[in-house]
Amino acid sequence: MFEQVTPLILTFNEAPNIARTLERLTWAKTIVVIDSYSTDETLEILQAYPQIKLYQNKFESFASQCNYGLEQITSEWVLSLDADYVLSDELIDEIRNLPKESEVNSYIVKFKYCVFGKSLRGTLYPPRQVLYRRKQAVYKEDGHAHRVLVAGSYALLNSYIYHDDRKSLDRWLNAQNKYMIIESKKILKTPTNQLSFSDRLRKQKIIAPFAILFYCLILKKGILDGWAGWYYAFERMLAETLLSIRLIEMEKLRQEKTKKIAI
């Protein structure tokens, strides 16, 4: 099936990650990369791979960037990857052996989360539709994230992708702060009865950071992963704490605005 698949990758200053992702894609005849004008060594790394077709496009949202990428692809199938995704050997073999003729329009893949290259037993990262027919797909915004909508039937593959982000903690903190502003607005704007269980829990503000620590360490067995498990649990707890702080801030600002209007 390889000859029918084009990997699609978005990049912006992904020098710490992109080479490991590309090393697992040497089977691809063409790789489409949509870059948001990187200023680090990302472009230099990309130039070492002759099968890459590089397009630079101003970033407005993840969904619009992905949809722009789909417009540059002519193959029947797309393998949509983040710049810190590393395909496992098992997944490469599984994709290679998929039937060329099938009624399935998309395939869902599970993830193994890595901390400095060490794979964890569990993760909060959900399975995603990463392999799909191009003509059946469109991307939509979903809070701070994005998701692909693919018409028709789907199937779950057995193998994993490793999510192995090696960017700096400063970069992670900056990104999480931006994400949590968007998530806070989404949670406060959405009626409570339309929120998912996890978002209703997050809206309580106090509970979520401690709940996520317990979930990562105990339910996901992160405590058995040693320092990497604790690192991941603290990282997720910090992200939820940032969200709680943003929710409190936005609620207080909204109350002050209401008081001023009333006066």
User: How many whole angstroms separate alpha carbon 185 and alpha carbon 144?
Assistant: 10
Q: Which two tokens stand for residue 161?
A: 């992708």
Structure letter (DSSP) for residue 215 = I
Per-domain boundaries in the chain: 2-163, 169-262
Cβ-contact 143, 183 below 8 angstroms? yes
Give the pair of three-digit tokens for residue 149.
Answer: 């909508």
Question: What integer pLDDT is reported at residue 144 of this predicted model?
Answer: 67
**What would the DSSP string read from start to end of 219-241?**
IT-GGGGTHHHHHHHHHHHHHHH
What is the sign of the dihedral through the CA atoms of 251, 257, 191 and 243?
Answer: negative
Amino acid 229: pLDDT: 97
DSSP per-residue codes, 131-192: EEEGGGEEEEEETTEEEEEE-SEEEEEEEEEEE-----HHHHHHHHHHHHHHHHHHHHHS-G
pLDDT of 134: 95
pLDDT tens across 78-98, in order?
999 999 999 999 999 999 999
Residue with tokens 């789907």: 154
Q: Are 111 and 162 in contact (CB under 8 A)?
A: yes
- C-beta atoms surrounding 39 within 10 Å: 9
Q: How buried is residue 238: exposed, middle or buried, by Cβ count under 10 Å (0-12/13-18/19+)?
A: middle
Local confidence pLDDT in tens for the 263 residues of the chain: 788 999 999 999 999 999 999 999 999 999 999 999 999 999 999 999 999 999 999 999 999 999 999 999 999 999 999 999 999 999 999 999 999 888 999 999 999 999 999 999 999 889 999 999 999 999 998 766 788 999 999 999 999 999 999 999 999 999 999 999 999 999 999 999 999 899 999 999 999 999 999 999 999 999 999 999 999 999 999 999 999 999 999 999 888 877 777 76
- Determine the pLDDT at residue 137: 95
Residue with tokens 């829990």: 201
**What per-residue confidence (pLDDT) applies to 97?**
94
| Superfamily classification of domain 2-163 | Spore Coat Polysaccharide Biosynthesis Protein SpsA; Chain A (3.90.550.10)
Q: What is the pLDDT of residue 33?
A: 98
The backbone torsions φ and ψ at residue 103, rounded to the nearest 5 degrees and listed phi first, read -85, -10
- What are the CA-CA distances from residue 193 to residues 183, 187, 189 (Å)? 17, 11, 12
Which pLDDT score is estimated for 96? 95
